[in-house]
Amino acid sequence: MPLLQDKIVLVTGAGAGIGRAITLAFAHEGARIAAADIDPAAASRVILDADAGNTGIAIEADCGDVGSINAMIEKVVGEFGRLDVIVNNAGVTRYSYIMDLTEADWDRIHRVNAKGVFFCLQSAARQMIQQFEADGSNGRILNMASISGRGYPGASNAAYAASKGAVIALTKMAAQQLGRYNINVNAICPGVTRTELGDRNAVGRAAARGITVEEMRAEQERTIPIGRANTPDDIAAMAVFLASAGARNITGQSYNVDGGLVPS
């Protein structure tokens, strides 16, 4: 039997990159998917690509807006009757030197990466607590952090690193306070990962150093002990495991998926 047969799973930022890979992997494992993205066309495409047209839904959602977050959870529960797993993947960044960051940069990044993750977690947990009190069921919350939140010097910028450090701390605190309701809370900390967002940042990084994107990528991979960057599927595999029965006693943890780049 697939690992996540008939589990109701919500993935935010599902339209591209890591979120898309997670959505496809969960659908492959039998989950019923709600794919949320600020770009509704991207959310709809991933549902079609997952061959989940009869069992999944696409949701337009702004994960930096609490009203939109609550409406997203309500839509999932209205459609499926429950929520078993949420993957808080939506995030934003840009490449910038610390002295060039503005208040607008800080607010934009933390609005989604820190505030958004918290209120997605809280809104999902509210539903999962109701389910636990009704039938004793288990809930899973997966937060997308980053090795940038552990001090990785190659972070896109300091505000992004701070937002991901906040996710790691939130994961620990939430696991302690929600465990009594049979809710597991864990985080994934991707390392260098080849995504559309990463590709856009790579252009700025390479230009700032006066090298080509290809040269910069080769240099990055030489620093990774295992010798290769992640693909989004590497992150999706960890997400599937943490949502599965095999991870039932794992909570409050933040796992690096980075080829050994940064010590945990």
Cα dist from 84 to 24, 55, 175, whole Å: 17, 15, 16
Total H helices, total E strands in the chain: 9, 7
Element (H, E) at 157: none
| CA dist., res. 125 & res. 116, Å (int) | 14
Set 95, 97, 152, 160: catalytic member: 160
In the three-class reduction of DSSP (H, G, I as helix; E, B as strand; rest coil), residue 36 is classed as strand
For the beta carbon of residue 160, count every other beta carbon within 10 angstroms: 26
In the three-class reduction of DSSP (H, G, I as helix; E, B as strand; rest coil), residue 230 is classed as strand
Instruction: Give the pair of three-digit tokens for residue 130.
Output: 């109701």
In the three-class reduction of DSSP (H, G, I as helix; E, B as strand; rest coil), residue 247 is classed as helix
In the three-class reduction of DSSP (H, G, I as helix; E, B as strand; rest coil), residue 75 is classed as helix
Instruction: Give the pair of three-digit tokens for residue 63.
Output: 């994960």
Q: 141 pairs with which residues across the strands? A: 86, 185
For the beta carbon of residue 210, count every other beta carbon within 10 angstroms: 7
Question: Nearest Cα to 80, choosing from 6, 24, 161?
Answer: 6
| CA dist., res. 1 & res. 17, Å (int) | 27
Specify whether 95 is catalytic: no
Residues ≥6 apart with Cβ < 8 Å to 74: none
Active-site residue list: 160
